Amino acid sequence: MKLIKFLLLGIFFGIVMTKSEVVSWFRIQEMFRFQAFHMYGVIGTAVVLGAIIVFLIKKTKLKNNEGHPIEFHDKAFSIYRYLFGGIIFGLGWALTGACPGPIFVLIGNGYVVFILVALSAILGTFTYGLIRDKLPH
Amino acid sequence: MIELISQPWPWYVAGAGIALVLFLANWLGGEFGVSGALGTMCSMCGAGKKVPFFNVNWRNQLWNVVFVFGALIGGFVAGTWLSSPNDIQLSAATVQDLGNLGITDFTGLAPAEVFGLDQIFTLRTLVFAILGGFLVGFGTRYAGGCTSGHAISGLSNLQLPSLIAVIGFFIGGLAMTHLLLPFFMNL
């Protein structure tokens, strides 16, 4: 049942990402060239509303639909992994014009080449797991 | 109704929609972070036998992979039945900059010169897809999240590590866009 709910949520997400053009390679280029407000508006609205949602969930100690309290975990502080990992992802984001969600949304939109992007992203994740002990975190 | 939905959605509708996904993902007993699904896929494929990092009970994380599969279906639904006949209204400056890089086709969601199916066996397209995808998959797991996990979920929870990650996203994205992209476009 939980899986069906997440399937429906994913479908909604895919429609939002497509209709708002967030999955567009061109829109990502526009963002990294600071030539339009669109992407900043999308992310900014999501973060402001998200912060209010997280604040209210914590304040009201809201329970999830399974009856357990909704918990937010603080991320362990470090600089290396977030900065280096972030830079590596950013390079790939600007090249493919897609972060992980949009890769799959674009496949659904009929962009067959992104199947290759997805497979390579899974390989990249696997490679990280393989060599993570050798990386500064 | 369909005609209204088929118009491109403004940024504030998209932002509100993403915030709603953030809320529902938490309320349904999960969280909003897409790149974790890539790790779960590795675990499902048996990567845990060789690499301890993936040796987790992936069945507990299956909702994440199902969400991503839903996103793919959502892309199909939007692209098939809700698509707008007009091109994306890009800024003129971006059209000019990308034109200087050799991009002339601004239809659809990605340039046909690079991501068209007929280009799949060209060196340029293979590099964009394989190198780009690898950097996305490697970088997001190294950073512990992507745009959804860090920029949306993490910043919404006022996490300093997520701010560092987002700064990293932009350092990488700006370097690729302004320094490296001309090289890759000339492949």
| Residue B187 near chain A (CB below 8 Å) | no
Q: What is the mean pLDDT of residues A97-123?
A: 97
What mean pLDDT is predicted for residues B161-171?
97
pLDDT confidence tier of residue A28, bands split at 50, 70 and 90: very high
pLDDT at B85 over 90: no
Identify the three-state secondary structure at position A74: coil
Query: Which A residues, 81 through 120, put their C-beta within 8 Å of a C-beta on chain B?
Result: 81-101, 103-114, 116-120
DSSP string for residues in chain B: -HHHHHSPPPHHHHHHHHHHHHHHHHHTTS-S-STHHHHHHHHHTTGGGT-GGG-S-GGGGHHHHHHHHHHHHHHHHHHHHS--SSPP---HHHHHHHHHTT-----SSS-HHHH-GGGTTSHHHHIIIIIHHHHHHHHHHHHT--IIIIIIIIHHTT-HHHHHHHHHHHHHHHHIIIIIHHHHHT-
pLDDT digits (tens, 9 = 90+) for A38-81: 999 999 999 999 999 999 999 999 999 989 999 998 999 999 99
Q: pTM for this structure? A: 0.96
Residues A110-123, mean pLDDT to the nearest whole number: 97
**Contact state of B71 with A85 under an 8 Å Cβ cutoff:** no
* pLDDT score for B1: 76
A112 vs B130: CB contact, 8 Å cut-off?
A: no
**Interface with B, mutate which of A126, A130, A133 (most B CBs under 10 A):** A126
Question: Given an 8 Å threshold on Cβ–Cβ distance, is B128 in contact with A95?
Answer: yes
- Contacts B74 to A, Cβ<8 Å: 10-18, 105, 108
Across the interface, of B159, B167, B177, the residue whose CB is closest to A29 is B177
- B2-49, pLDDT tens digit by residue? 788 888 999 999 999 999 999 999 999 999 999 999 999 999 999 999
HSE value, Cβ hemisphere, 13 Å, CA-based, for B133: 22
Give me the pLDDT at residue B86, please.
83
Q: Assess A80–B contact: CB distance below 8 Å, yes or no.
A: no
CA distance A123 to chain B (A): 6
* B-interface mutation test, from A1, A5, A13, most B Cβ less than 10 A away: A13
pLDDT tens digits for B122-147?
999 999 999 999 999 999 999 999 99
Percent of chain A with pLDDT over 70: 100
